[in-house]
Structure 1
Amino acid sequence: MKKQKSPCIDVCDFSGPKGWCLGCGRTREECQQWNKMKPYALNNLRKALKKRMSVNE
């Protein structure tokens, strides 16, 4: 199975109020676990990231 591409855009700034990356919306832990996550978990996280990043706009 093909690995899903990371949503990282090389901003990596975790200074926001909730500790999410201002570039991709992930937490530090989510960034570290990305390559170990199962496809179902990745899909759920991608949906959550869309919501997180829409709140930050």
Structure 2
Amino acid sequence: MLGGTIDITVHEVCDVDSIKEIHHANGGDWGGTMIDREFLNFLCTITGAY
């Protein structure tokens, strides 16, 4: 599947002028097209549509 990824990075603010990377960018198919598909599945579930 193309597209539909999300990348997450975690930073810690160490002081006024610096940050530290806690966790580097990590992505997977948890956004975009996957969200669209699951939202459509949810709507079908509550409406009984297929």
TM-score range, shorter chain: 0.3 to 0.5
User: Under a length normalisation based on structure 2, what TM-score does the superposition of the two structures give?
Assistant: 0.34
User: Under a length normalisation based on structure 1, what TM-score does the superposition of the two structures give?
Assistant: 0.30
Structure index of larger Rg? 2
Higher normalized contact order (CA 8 Å, seq sep 6+, divided by chain length) = 2
Higher helix share: 1
